[in-house]
Amino acid sequence: MFSHINNYITRYAAFAPDEVNLFNSLLEQRHVPKKTFLLKEGEVCRFEAYINKGCIRSYYVDEHGAEITLQFAIENWWVSDIASFHEGKPSRMFIETLEDCELLLLNPDTKEQLLQEAPRFERMFRLMVQRNVSRLQERLFQTIATTAEQKYLDFLERYPTIPQRAPQHQIASFLGFSPEFLSKVRTRLAKK
Amino acid sequence: MFSHINNYITRYAAFAPDEVNLFNSLLEQRHVPKKTFLLKEGEVCRFEAYINKGCIRSYYVDEHGAEITLQFAIENWWVSDIASFHEGKPSRMFIETLEDCELLLLNPDTKEQLLQEAPRFERMFRLMVQRNVSRLQERLFQTIATTAEQKYLDFLERYPTIPQRAPQHQIASFLGFSPEFLSKVRTRLAKK
DNA sequence: CCCGGCCATTGAACTAGTTCAAGAAATTAC
DNA sequence: GTAATTTCTTGAACTAGTTCAATGGCCGGG
């Protein structure tokens, strides 16, 4: 159950066996069926979820009711609304499973306890969040600077498993254009 | 010299006097004239700069030579290429002063020393980076979901001092559209 | 004080992507 | 296995934003 996540954390820092044990003991295991909301807009996010198995999408809904996908999270990723989680403020996003999922969860209390008793985890979380910043910066750049076609091709390369796991209109909403246009881009690409 | 930054860090965590002293002793003070590059594409970023006074812009240049502004950083903000700084990899961005600046700098060594000797700073940096993630998520959402006019109005509200400090075409490149179009948006708004 | 180089504006022609609507294909639910 | 629903595709009309080019304003440097 913990092999993946323990492997994951040691990529960020070297932990002593009892630090790892403490960490594992604080994680809550949960199985969640597909199409389940882990978080809805307006709720406070009380988890940071590591995905052992499955696929999860987080998204915003804009004023016209359109969805904007923020993240497709798969095995070995974390998903949460970090701002809501840490500040206890209502979230603006939805987090929903796309498949049956096997999750390992921290809540604000267990996370705080972990950081108190094994402060070395501060570093791990910092490094994790830093990588997140880089990824978001890159994505922002790409969203502004490239064409729909290029975005889609880059997406396929970077997230090769997602097209089999998420419907196309969600991918369009991740890339920042309409589902109809993605369909047109795809037929255009197929003709090449 | 350190009053602002010390005030800044205590908003994230409570530090003992000697932790603060250590921190201050590790900071390098530097005055930089306007239009100076702190970082150019291809270089490794060796600083995290806290801005005591002044204004700095970080930006990417895309394949057609167009600039995409990532950040306008002002007093009380940090600026760096976090990925390059931490992994020692060449950066893809430019960081340039818009005004004469008074900076306080950490480099990889002093930052590491700080974290070793006063691990409480791990938390501060983690919280800082987390806020960054939220801001980037919000901006990404806005970039995808709103019109140029709305982006500009939100920008004016959130960064009221920037229009006096940066040329308009840089603001356009921050918002993700062309300088000509920003000009048209502005005249349209002025007529209302 | 004048020159040269940004910088902002405007208009006209254009294009990448949207919207709407309708039908086909694929999944899911019973 | 069939109905119901969601998903994908296609086309036509549209629009938000781009691109190019020309003009004039402005600021900084000598």
Ranges of H-type helices in chain B = 3-10, 17-26, 82-87, 108-117, 120-145, 148-158, 162-165, 168-175, 179-191
Do residues A133 and A126 make contact, with C-beta atoms less than 8 angstroms apart? no
- List, for chain A, all residue ranges whose pLDDT scores fall below the cut of 70: none
Whole-number distance in Å between A187 CA and D10 C1': 10
Which pLDDT score, from 0 to 100, does residue B191 have?
82
**CB-based burial label for B134 (10 Å; 0-12, 13-18, 19+):** middle
- List, for chain B, all residue ranges whose pLDDT scores fall below the cut of 70: none
Nucleotide closest to A150 measured between CA and C1': C16
Do residues B68 and B59 make contact, with C-beta atoms less than 8 angstroms apart? yes
**pTM confidence score:** 0.95
Which pLDDT score, from 0 to 100, does residue A24 have?
98
- Is A184's CB less than 7 Å from nucleic acid strand D? yes
Q: Do B144 and A143 touch (CB under 8 A)?
A: yes
Which pLDDT score, from 0 to 100, does residue A1 have?
84
What is the least distance, in Å, from the CA of A62 to any CA of chain B?
7
What is the least distance, in Å, from the CA of A2 to any CA of chain B?
24
Which pLDDT score, from 0 to 100, does residue B1 have?
84
Which pLDDT score, from 0 to 100, does residue A191 have?
83
- Is A143's CB less than 7 Å from nucleic acid strand D? no
B 51-110 residues with CB < 8 A to A? 60, 62, 66, 68, 70, 82-83, 86
Which residues of chain A between 159 and 178 are close to nucleic strand D, CB under 7 A?
A: 167-169
CA-nearest residue of chain B to A136? B136
- Is B159's CB less than 7 Å from nucleic acid strand D? no
Domain boundaries, chain B: 3-132, 146-192
Q: Do B145 and A70 touch (CB under 8 A)?
A: no
Q: Domain A3-132, CATH 2.60.120.10 — does that match? A: yes
- Which chain B residues contact residue A62 at CB under 8 A? 141, 145-146
d(CA B188, CA B192) in angstroms, rounded, equals 7
Residue among B62, B129, B144 whose CB faces A130 most closely: B129
d(CA A113, CA A118) in angstroms, rounded, equals 8
